Amino acid sequence: ILMLAKSHKFVEDMVELFQKKEVEKKYAAWVSGTVTGKGKVEAPIDVVYREGTAKRFGVKPSGKPALTLYETVKSGTEKSFLYLYP
């Protein structure tokens, strides 16, 4: 999602909500393979690739601890559809 602010006040308010973790993030994703039920993924995350200002994040032992909860919406033999909650 891309959020565009029409005022400086809106930017300040949104930054505050994110800092207080009052914004609920929910992602939808197709993943490879069969996934069923609910679960969690815990792994340390850090920058694994950088080119200019572009960064890619991935699992790295020296990274920051991260937790993502997931629930399966639809499961198949080759792919599954999940909701993810970081």
Please calculate the CA angle 22-25-30 and round it to the nearest 5 degrees: 170
pLDDT band at 3 (very low <50, low <70, confident <90, very high): confident
What pLDDT digit, counting tens, does each position of 45-86 carry? 999 999 988 899 999 999 999 999 999 999 999 999 999 998
Which pLDDT does position 21 carry in this prediction?
87
For residues 24 and 72, which has the higher predicted lDDT (pLDDT)? 72
Q: Which residues contact 72 (CB under 8 A, 6 or more apart)?
A: 35, 36, 37, 38, 80, 81, 82
